[in-house]
Structure formats: C-alpha cells, structure tokens
A and B are shown apart, each in its own frame.
Chain A
C-alpha cells in the first residue's frame, strides 16, 4: 500500500527547546495510525507542522508520494489534509453551517449560497453518519456535536487525510464509541486517519499502527495487533510503568465528611444541585463520576466554602461548616485540590516556594508579626519538592514554567502538607502525563491508607474505577446512583452518567 503521509527527518525548535528532533513518520494510505506520547513529547507540534501552522527547521514532507512545501493551513487544506484540534477551532456565536463553510464559502450574487451549501453538507453528514443541527449556534451544542462539526469541516474541504488531536478527552464513553464508529466508517471510505492520544485502550481498540514519541523523538513504530499497552507505556515513559493502581482492600472508619440534602440555585435561577446527600468515611475514597457540568463543580465549591448552598447541611466530624468562608473551612480540617489549577490552585507567576505556602502563609510557622520567615519557607519547599519529586527542584523557580504535571504536584504537596482529615480532589490528573498520573494516584492511595477521607471528582472513568472504594454518579444536579464498591462496568456507569437509562435511575430512587 502507498504512503499517504511521509514526514522525513523533521526538526522543529522553539526558542530553547527542540520540540521535534529528526522525526520520521510514515502513514499508510487508508489506515488509522495512532501517535502516542506524554504531554510535551512533541506529537501536536509534529502534526501542526504537517498542517502548516509551524514551519519545520529541517526535514521534508511528502503527501501521496509527492514532495510538498506547506506554508500555511491554506496549503495543507489544498493537499487534502484536515485537522481536528484538541481545543476546537470553532467560532461559538456562528451557526454550525457557518462554521463548516468558513473559509470555503460558496457564494451566489455576493451572498453565501445557503441552499446549495445546506444540501451539500446534509449529503456528507448522511454519508458519514455525522448528524449535526445546521442552523443552531455552535455555543448551544454539546462537545460531542462540536467535534462532529470539526470533522465535517475537514471533509467539506475534501480532506482525505484527517488528523485528530486527543479527540476523546472531552467525550463520554458513549460518545467515544460513536466517534470510533465514525472513524471506522471514514477508514472504510478510504480516508487516512492520524489519532493523537495518550489513552492506550483507545490505541488498542481502533488503530492499525502506532508510533510512540518521547521528548521530541520517535522511540518506536509498532503494529497494533503485535503489541500491548504495557510495551507502549514503557516506550512512552522510558521506564516500566504500573498501569493499574496497586491498592489494598479499604478499611473504612467512621464518616468524617457528611453532606445532607444540599441544594444550590445559581444566579440565573438554575438548580445546579438538587438535594445531594453523601458521606465519606475516614480511610476511603469516594469517587464521583459524571459528565462535566452536572453539578460536580458546585458540589465541590459548596463544600470548600467558595459558594454558599441554598439549603442543606455539610459537616466535618459532625460540625456544621455551611456559612463558613474558605479559610475557616480549611481551619476545620479540609484540603482542596481544585479542578482548575491555573485559576484556583496556583498564583502562576509566583515561585514554587511561595505557592507551597498559599493559604498557610499566616501560620506562625511561616510568618512573624511583621515579616515572612524566609528560611522556614525555603526549607518547607525543599522538603516538599523532594518528597513529591517536583521538577525543576528549585524553590525559586516560577510556577508558570513548570509542566502541567509538576504544577499539579505543587498543589498536591501543599494540600497534603496541611494534614487535613478531608481531601477534596477535583480532576487531580487532568492534563498530567502517565508518569505523573502514576505518582499522583499512589499519593492519594497512601493518604487514604493513613486514614484520610477523600472525595475524588473526575471526568476520567479509568481514574474513578481504579482509585475509588465507592462510586457515586452525578447527573443533572443529583446523585443518581451510589455503587458500594468499584466493581462496575464502564458502560453501566456511562448509562447513569448520561441519564439515558431513566428506568435504572427511577429504580435507584
């Protein structure tokens, strides 16, 4: 079979770092090729170079066995390359149709020819089972639909090579299954697909070939049927990795955190939490599964004192904490790893050592009446940096320069160092690579074993299933189901998460 894409000895440097170092990647026409690697390994840069967003410093590109120069997306689109970016490149206030035709509009007497365009897109949508509401604004449709819009956008431009960057990061399990069906259909019709991902089960499920990148280099080309997740993970990280979290049976103690009939109505009058009740005992991890935006954020913000519930009660060891502000809640024994680490977890332009004492700065340990105790702050940082393996190991390094995984380690180090009884961990490994995930998971399990009560909120089902001792599912502001253990199928969780099985939900009530 001929090659659709040949990237030959591509090198791309940014200011000081080499993002792609002499990378060669060949993709067979009509195949699905997975490109895997940790964050910052250079996968996205390589594909954006193919798409013309970057110019390589060295190397050549061949498309369908012809040498080409790609100066901009304009060129790559002409060569039949389409890309679905990780952060969708859509214009929210424009309609689905406008987004699809943008840059490739058909006009009739100065006006965009809606009739002809609608017919063309409908035909394509039919052919590839990509149903989208054409006249709806993109800001009013869900991420699953937005992704289909992106795929249609590429196909409308007659792309026969489709690059998808982390396409499942924002999807529910059901939507992922849908997407994979679509990809299989596209392959069937002769399209070539490159899939950037770091989820190994997806690689195994859908790809024909897999190329692994690490630190800007290609470290392996494998045929998917002849490899396994363990081998790929080892290539990605450069050392053997534990894909399963090792943890002992949990020995839950007395309930520590108690939430009772919690209701929250937001400023727009939307009931984001509807009588939520749950409790977390010492020595257990309660995982909250759910598609984002079903009330998880509001639940966490109520517990941590960031917003005030409309009604209901929250207790720590039986003491009511509703009405207290975040600082007072912390003082009652709560630690919080927030979902948005840049917005809520860190002051990104401060140093590591300063971030490590955020919210602890007023303790006598770190400040006297007039000034901060610099020596103590530095030695605190040195200790935590070593314990949590933060890189670079420099207390004075500015946090902005750290990788996502290391920024997250700074937050976790700080929150665990306050030795609170209750830990709220919201999306603790979002945007963190495999090596970092392994470390963070181990840390949380160790905290559990030492008797902490942990509430874990995550959109990543793998994470929920491998860490939780009990699992609660949130849908539309309610807890629709609590599983007493973690022995539940992903697909069953998915049904509850999407509210698609109303009968099951009614049964649960």
Chain B
C-alpha cells in the first residue's frame, strides 16, 4: 500500500498542489521584506486566475492568458500598494477589502461574460516543453514539461540570491526593517515598497493563472484560502524564499496525502484534518520563533 501511495503520480500531485502555494508565498516574502503586510494575496490569486481565464478564452492563446493573469495580479496589488504606501491606511483592512472585492468582481464579470454564476467555459492548457530524458514517465514529463513549474523552481532559487545578495534585495530588506535608516541614506522608501508589493502581485497572479490552467476553467472562489496558507508558509519559512518554498512543499505533501488516503477506508473526517494537523505540529514543534521584518505593516511617515 505504501508503494501505491508514494508513487510517481503522488509526487506529481504534490508538486501540482505546491506550485501555486509557492508562487504566492514567494510573493508574500517580497512584499513583507519591504515592510508591507500582504493578506491581499488571496484576492490577488483569485483575480489572477480570472484574468488568465478571460485572456485565454478570448484570444485562444494560453501565453497571452499568462500575461493577463500577471496583469490581473499586478493591478490588484497596485490597489493594495496605493492604499498601504501612499494613503498609509491599515494594511490588514486593505487586504481584507481587496479579498472581498475580488470575490465580488470575479463573480459579477463571470455572470456577464459566461452567463454562469459558478464557472467559466473550458480553456486550453499551457503548451508543454518536451523534455526527452523523462519521457518514459508520463506523469513526471507532463509536470516538468510545464513551463510554469520550471519557472517556479527557477524563481525560488533566484529569489534567495536576489533578496540576500543583490543591491535590490539589500535595499528592500532595509526598507522593511528600518525605513528611516534607508531614507537617511537616500533610498526611496516608497519606491522600494512599491517594488515589493508589485512583485508579490505578479507572483500571486501567476499562482492564480496556474489554478485556472490546471482546471481548464475558472470557478467561483477557486483561490479557496490558498492565499492564507501561502502567508502561513511564508511565516513558517521565516520570510526566506527557500524556507517558504519548503513549507509550501510540506503543505502540498500533506494535502496530497489526504487526497490519496481518501480511498483507503479511513474515516474521511480524520483524513481531511491531515494538512492542518501537520501545519500545527510544524509550527509548534520544529520552527523556532519567527521574527517578522521590524517595520512590517507599519506605514512610513517622513516628517513627524
């Protein structure tokens, strides 16, 4: 039975579930490293999924769909940036408002374009890249031939370097830890906070895009709390790209296990608890104290 559960198909399923978590979680890292709390991830994912669906449906071209998904995420994040950075409103409230707004607007436009309150028409998926060396295993080939999977792996590794080794990363972290200090050495706090929030918009929009292509359609409320899980993963991963991705992989694994075990004759109520029990155990047992960037969630006031 064990070998049945932990098959290549199981691995493929785990990765499939992990990708959107990882993208959104990474987005959270960029935003919060720069000092803007981003619980709007949930709404950004939803808007990204919807924009990608609409883009693909009307052009028939999935690549344009991807661009639309990113654009949808960027625009939603832009609202959060203006409200949090320029207007200096409470970032949690802005996030909640955006999440509620996303549920409403997607449902409303869904009704207009597809005459349905629950789901869109079917869209094609992303074209696959042929990778010769793993062709013998169709599950794996389909997965790693997906350009978004490759991109996700690439961006996770690259982000670790971007945030900790480059000029951009240094400035972003400075702005999130002590904006006043950054200001006094001539770094624009506003600009770098915009960068952080907008990158999170693009990545979470891409997470939504993945969901839409994975399902070949948009369904009402399809983000289904993934933005919040991504945020939790970011904290478990201590605001580090690799850490956040590892936490996402753990959630993906637990969720995948839950799906796999549903046919195994155990009470479903117990099985459905698995991902959450894993989360609690990991949070309580294995991760030390997670320290957020010092200025995370605090608007920067220049002249006091």
Contact = CB atoms under 8 A, between A and B. Distances in A.
Interface stretch (B49-57, B104-112, B178-186): B178-186
A96 to B, nearest CB: 13
B167, B187, B303 interface centre (most CB from chain A within 10 Å): B167
A102 B166 contact: no
A90 B181 contact: yes
B111 to A, nearest CB: 46
Interface string A95-127: 000100111110100111000000000000000
Contact of A102 (B165, B171, B303): B171
Contacts of B166: 107, 110-112
Contacts of B173: 91, 93-94
B294 interface: yes
A104 B185 contact: yes
Interface in B55-78: none
Contacts of B183: 53, 73
Contact of B186 (A85, A94, A103, A107): A103
A157 B184 CA distance: 12
A190 interface: no
B50 to A, nearest CB: 34
Contacts of B181: 89-91, 102
A53 B177 CA distance: 19
Interface in B150-192: 161, 165-167, 170-171, 173-174, 177-178, 180-187
Interface residues on A, range: 20 to 34
Contacts of A92: 177-178, 294
Interface of B is mostly: helix
A94 B170 contact: yes
A54 B177 CA distance: 22
A93 B33 CA distance: 12
A74 B170 contact: no
Contacts of A98: 170
A427 interface: no
Given A72-B186, A103-B187, A112 B303 contact: no
A267 to B, nearest CB: 13
A85 B177 contact: no
A445 interface: no
Interface in B188-208: none
Contacts of B184: 51, 53, 73, 83, 85, 89
A54, A73, A102, A105 interface centre (most CB from chain B within 10 Å): A102
A198 interface: no
A464 interface: no
Contact of A112 (B170, B177, B187): B170
B177 A94 contact: yes
B301 to A, nearest CB: 12
A77 interface: yes
Nearest to B180: A89
Contacts of A73: 183-186
A215 interface: no
Contacts of A53: 183-184
A111 B182 contact: no
A210 B90 CA distance: 46
A153 interface: yes
Given A89-B178, A94-B173, A111-B166, A102 B187 contact: yes
Contacts of B170: 94, 98, 101-102, 105, 112
Which 4 A-B pairs rank lowest in CB-CB distance, beginning with the nearest?
A: A103-B185, A74-B186, A89-B181, A105-B167
Interface of A: 51, 53-54, 72-74, 77, 83, 85, 89-94, 98, 101-105, 107, 110-112, 153, 157
Interface of B: 161, 165-167, 170-171, 173-174, 177-178, 180-187, 294, 303
Given A111-B166, A112-B165, 18 more contacts: A51-B184, A77-B186, A83-B184, A89-B184, A90-B178, A91-B174, A92-B177, A94-B170, A102-B187, A103-B171, A103-B185, A104-B185, A105-B167, A105-B170, A110-B166, A110-B167, A111-B161, A157-B185
12 contacts: A51-B184, A53-B184, A72-B186, A73-B183, A73-B184, A89-B185, A93-B177, A93-B294, A94-B174, A102-B170, A107-B167, A111-B161
